[in-house]
Amino acid sequence: MANESEFIAQLISETDRDKAFNKLIDLYQVRLYWHIRKLVITHENADDVLQNTFIRVYKGLSKFSGQSALYTWMYKIAYNESIRFIEQNKNKQSISIEDVSDKYLNSLLEDSFFEGEALQLKLQTVLSGLNYKQRQIFNMKYYDDLKFHEMATILEMKESTIKTIYYNAVKFIESNIETLDLKNDVIILNTTHS
């Protein structure tokens, strides 16, 4: 966004707030939806979490400190809302976060909104073999194209730790993708050091 500080002023302004917030939704709804969807898997759950995310963003705009980019701040809210949803689901069913993710992965094919191809499904299968933190960090880097320093802010972890987890996840994926007979298909993993 060209002038984020001006846009934030509009979001906080009593007179411009609703119009600016509608613009905010237009700008970031799709990106946040897919971030959430990777965590909670199904369309229905992602829609619910996205709605809760925008409610929290709206209520929290006056407290936005500007220490990070607006999108990074909203991404963190979306991430926390997704984790809250998973935790609530876990408590209802007495299973771990990893089991919840595996359960949702198993239901992915049944989801009428899943439009992925076979290669994408195979990648998701390999990703389900990662532990929760590895899968989360891989998704943030590979799918959401976040920088390591942005992930460090969102996850409140050291950047070096995030890099280590990410590159270990990439190694796991590269070594296990072959076991799914994907030799004729190509997946280019983002291994840049940004």
Q: Domain holding 164: CATH number? A: 1.10.10.10
- One domain, residues 105 and 82: yes
**Cα 148 to Cα 162: distance, rounded to the nearest angstrom:** 7
Mean pLDDT for back-to-back runs of 10 residues, the chain (194 residues): 83 92 95 89 91 96 88 94 88 50 49 54 77 88 90 93 95 79 45 54
Q: Domain ends where: 59, 81, 115?
A: 115
Q: Domain ends where: 96, 115, 134?
A: 115
- One domain, residues 2 and 80: yes
Whether 148 and 120 have beta carbons less than 8 Å apart is answered as: no
- One domain, residues 124 and 77: no
pLDDT (0 to 100) of residue 187: 44
Range(s) of the domain holding residue 55: 1-115
Q: Domain ends where: 97, 115, 133?
A: 115
pLDDT (0 to 100) of residue 127: 80
At 58, list the tokens.
Answer: 């709206």
Structure-derived torsion over alpha carbons of residues 66, 71, 74, 80, reported in degrees to the nearest 10: -110
Instruction: Give the CATH number, domain containing residue 102.
Output: 1.10.1740.10
- One domain, residues 158 and 66: no
pLDDT (0 to 100) of residue 121: 65
- One domain, residues 125 and 74: no
User: DSSP 3-state assignment of 117?
Assistant: coil
How many folded domains does the chain comprise? 2
**Cα 110 to Cα 139: distance, rounded to the nearest angstrom:** 22
